[in-house]
């Protein structure tokens, strides 16, 4: 389950603390990270969470263009691929819009495996081989969502994303799709996010509840802002019922 808030609210949120500060350990969620993809893809309370995130972003889009949205995190394994996927599925529920999910995490790609799609061709093929967009993009068989996998290459992600052709292909994607959700690398890990940031209209920051320390959140926020990318919102991932009701009320999570 996820909660979608803005960055200033998250900075004040006292349940983002390290175990050394006295937080009770939270058991890992039951099931796998892909359980939420069972037919009809996303449903129930999880679906409502993603629809709420989508609608919040749509409201923001009334004041600024939001055609290419990044989804990132402070560090790896905070669930950003799960959030990016669910958000893309929520946008794709509108048949009037062409929606693309891009696996921009070239160091640890996961989107293709999530949907049991081929990892190549993909983004690297667009950049390095100038492959036509329609040949690189895959469409889900039972849902109106397009997916651009990571592709394969022996070059480092930084080298690939530094190619001049990368900007042209991202501009082509912007024109071909109404909404593009990009699962990027974690901000702290490398410079990949900064290279992608020039092509994003904004980003959603994913934090793992009770795991991501406040100091790391602040550092991540500073790096994203330094890259010139607006933080559109923050989603608290893996929120459990152990959160006190008083905190839910305080931050409007009821």
Mean of per-residue pLDDT scores for the chain: 79
Q: Give the model's pLDDT for residue 143.
A: 86
Domain hosting residue 102, numbered range: 3-19+36-250
Do the domain assignments include residue 86? Answer: yes
Question: Does residue 26 form part of some domain?
Answer: no
Residue 219 confidence (pLDDT) above 60: yes
**Tens digit of each residue's pLDDT (9 = 90 or more) over 10-51:** 444 433 333 333 333 333 334 444 555 554 456 677 788 889
Say if 28 falls within a structural domain. Answer: no
Q: How many domains are there within the chain?
A: 1
CA 200 to CA 180: how far, in whole Å?
9
Is 208 contained in some domain? yes
Q: What predicted TM-score, i.e. pTM, was given to this entire model?
A: 0.80
Report the C-alpha gap between 78 and 154 in whole angstroms. 27
CA–CA separation, 102 and 84 (whole Å): 9
Q: Does residue 24 lie in a domain region? A: no
- Token pair 């999530």 is found at 114
Examine residue 170 and state whether it is found in any structural domain, yes or no: yes
Tell me if 245 is assigned to some domain.
Answer: yes
Q: What is the CATH number of the domain that holds 55?
A: 3.40.50.300
pLDDT digits (tens, 9 = 90+) for 70-109: 999 987 777 899 899 999 999 999 989 999 999 999 999 9
Q: Report the distance separating Cα 93 and Cα 90, nearest Å.
A: 5
At residue 36, the pLDDT reads 53
Share of the chain above pLDDT 90, in %: 51
Burial of 174 (0-12, 13-18, 19+ CB in 10 A): middle
pLDDT at 119: 93
C-alpha 183 chain-centroid distance: 5
Comparing CA positions, the residue from 57, 64, 56, 70 lying closest to residue 101 is 70
Whether residue 126 is contained in a domain is answered as yes
């Amino acid at each position: 389950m996820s909660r979608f808030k803005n960055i200033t609210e998250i900075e004040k949120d006292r349940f983002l603390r390290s175990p050394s500060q006295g937080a009770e350990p939270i058991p890992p969620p039951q099931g796998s990270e892909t359980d939420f993809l069972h037919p009809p893809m996303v449903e129930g309370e999880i679906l409502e969470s993603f629809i709420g995130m989508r609608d919040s972003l749509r409201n923001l889009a009334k004041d600024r263009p939001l055609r290419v949205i990044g989804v990132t995190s402070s560090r790896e394994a905070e669930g950003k691929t799960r959030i990016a996927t669910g958000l893309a599925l929520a946008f794709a529920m509108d048949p009037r819009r062409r929606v693309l999910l891009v696996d921009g995490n070239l160091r640890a790609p996961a989107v293709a495996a999530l949907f049991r799609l081929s990892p190549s061709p993909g983004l690297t093929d667009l950049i390095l081989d100038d492959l036509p967009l329609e040949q690189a993009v895959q469409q889900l068989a039972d849902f109106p969502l397009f997916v651009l996998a990571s592709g394969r290459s022996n070059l480092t992600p930084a080298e690939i994303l530094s190619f001049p052709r990368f900007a042209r292909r991202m501009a082509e994607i912007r024109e071909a799709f109404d909404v593009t959700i990009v699962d990027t690398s974690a901000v702290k890990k490398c410079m990949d996010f900064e290279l992608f940031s020039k092509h994003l209209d904004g980003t959603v920051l994913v934090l793992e509840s009770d795991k991501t320390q406040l100091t790391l959140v602040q550092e991540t926020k500073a790096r994203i802002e330094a890259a010139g990318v607006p933080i559109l919102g923050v989603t608290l991932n893996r929120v459990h019922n152990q959160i006190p009701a008083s905190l839910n009320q305080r931050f409007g999570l009821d």
